[in-house]
Structure 1
Amino acid sequence: MSSQPGFLHIIDVYKAYNGKVILDNIDLQVSRGEFCTVVGPSGCGKSTLLRLIIGAEVPTAGRILLEQQSVGPPDIHRGIVFQKYSLFPHLTVLDNISLGLRLGGRPGSKEMSGKEIYEEATAMLEKIRLAEHGNKYPHELSGGMQQRVAIGQSLIMKPKILVMDEPFGALDPNTRENMQLFLVELWEQEKMTVFFVTHDLEEAAFLGTRLLVLSQYYVDDRGNGRQVNRGAKITADYQPPATVSSKAVKQTREFNELIACIRREGFDPDFLQHAEEFNLKHPDSFQTLTREESG
């Protein structure tokens, strides 16, 4: 683990519902500007982890720190984009983009005039390549265009972290690829910190500067059987090949070998690594196993 404090620091975090452990002793340190993709089997707790980061839920145990301060309830410092577009159908694209600035603005910033809000919203429309569509309503846009508006709606508030939960899951394959390229370009421009949950391993490996595999398929020294209330851990933590704004990287041998490793280490219930042997290759990875877990 880096000697420098992480921008986001998750330490010994557990999350349980009605006594059932979902997330089990999660440790994670993330640097500012990182693009983290998160994959794992259905039901392993990926969306739960995102809800903890944005403050929509609180850990059963452990700490989550953002810039060395405990995270609180949801606020505009942590933007979120869902699979279903969070747009208001009765507002134009421009009004959807500017809504946050008009309702309350950014904490700590001076109150903006109507002209300043309009100029910022128009500039955001340029960034998301929808400058000609500002006066349209959401139903007049394609799915990919609506999701770009939702991303712009979050970004204009300048969040410290942008959390995205399966944002491209409802799009057709061609639109999805175009949105991946768009998001990479936007991330390179804005240098934002992103957490991106997806079921698509190819998408995760293409987008992420860091790829986290969350899985319940592992063993430790607590043994087996119904008495072991074991939840998901980060079983692999990769630093993928440098992200490039071209889908050609998906055809390379290195890329496809990475996909095969992810599938084996996170999704194969017969491939049960011991918790001490997880594939934690990223330089910021760290793990604090309990005595029961590591013997």
Structure 2
Amino acid sequence: MIEAKNVWKKYGDQVVLERINVSVQEGEFVTLVGASGCGKSTFLKMLLGTETPSEGELLMDGKQIRDEPDRDRGIVFQQYSVFPHMTVLENVMATKAFARKGLTGYLFGESRKAAREEALHMLEQVGLSQSRDKYPDALSGGMRQRLAIAQAFLAKPRILLLDEPFGALDPGIRLDMHALVLDLWKAYKMTVFMVTHDIKEGFYLGTRLWVFDKRRDDPHAPGRYGASITFDLPVGKIDHTTYQQIDDQLRPTPVPDPVFMEKQNA
């Protein structure tokens, strides 16, 4: 479904990504991990179409991915992308309205009735039925993220992009979100790409995990080389040594300052 052929992304002299060569089958759940600034979100933006490769090809069904978002691709950000002036139900119904052709996107008659029924069913799936008439500012962070997820899934994109969607949530709420996304992914059979900084989250949610990191580095010119995919692992088929190697790569153990240690031992 998705194929990257020698994809590079540069901003002037700054190389962000280099030599990305991967293919993804429809229905896979790919999690992307790596240090901050290593290009994970940039790759997600290229899949969405808001960024384009500087070199190489990024294909969907054998054709170049369109350089603008469309109905085939939906996204959920860490910050809740909901409309504050609309109720929970109106926010979800708006997803169906925006998908309509025409100048206004307004829903009328049977179309509005069908959209309302679909939205109510989705709100029941994400546990927001009792909050359908509330406005987003009356919801908790976890509830607003459920609302954003409901919007994304109701649009029924072929590809769902999640950019650290749970990073701002408390651990307990994150576990609830994990269960919700897995249930919806299985129900709607979408292809999912999710950026996360949490390696455990990446292994728990995904069917496949990518680690983004630089294979080469120049301390005198940090932007000379970009990140590539250093690990591409099927979830459930990883030994402890490899897991520890990835964890150390993402969270390197700090080297003690010899001056500080000498003072401590004095």
TM-score by length of 1: 0.77
Report how far residue 102 of structure 1 moved.
1.6
Q: Partner of 2:126 in structure 1? A: 128
Kept in 1: contact 2:30–2:192 (CA 8 A): yes
Equivalent position to 2:41, from 42, 47, 63: 47
Q: Which amino acid aligns with 1:262?
A: I
Task: Give the gaps of 5 or more residues in structure 1.
Answer: 1-6, 243-253, 271-295
Are 1:20 and 2:14 counterparts?
yes
Larger Cα-atom Rg? 2
Q: Distance in 2 between matches of 1:130 and 1:255?
A: 39
3-state SS of 1:113 partner: helix
Moved over 3 A (4+): 223-228, 254-259, 264-270
Contact 1:236/1:265, CA 8 A, preserved across alignment:
no
Residue in structure 2 matched with residue 60 of structure 1 by the alignment: 54
Query: How many aligned positions are there?
Result: 247
- 2:225 aligned residue (226, 230, 252): 230
* Matching of residue 178 in structure 1 with residue 176 in structure 2: yes
Matched residue, 2:65: 71
Q: Describe how 1:160-171 pairs up with structure 2 within 5 A.
A: 160-171=158-169
Alignment RMSD, CA only? Answer: 2.6
* Contact kept in structure 2, 1:64 and 1:70, CA below 8 Å: yes
User: Which one of 208, 221, 229 corresponds to residue 206 of structure 2?
Assistant: 208
Listed as ranges, the gaps of 5+ residues in structure 2 are: 255-266
- Distance, in Å, in 2 between the alignment partners of 1:66 and 1:179 is 28
| Residues 258 and 99 (structure 1), Cα distance of their counterparts in 2 relative to 1, 3 Å cut | farther
Per-residue CA deviation, residues 130-170 of structure 1 (Å, 9 max, x unaligned), is: 12221111112111111111011111111110001010011
Q: Post-superposition shift, 1:97?
A: 0.6
Counterpart code for 1:68: G
Q: Which residue does the alignment assign to 1:261?
A: 245
1:156 aligns to 2:154 (yes or no): yes
Q: Offset of 1:207 from its aligned partner? A: 0.6
Query: What is the SS of the residue equivalent to 2:116?
Result: helix
How far apart are the structure 2 equivalents of 1:257 and 1:176?
27
Identity of aligned residues (%): 43
Q: Check if 1:90 corresponds to 2:85.
A: yes
TM score, norm. by length of structure 2: 0.85
Alpha-carbon distance, 1:225 to partner: 6.6
CA distance in 1, matches of 2:207, 2:96: 30
Return the alpha-carbon distance in structure 2 between the equivalents of residues 82 and 258 of structure 1: 29
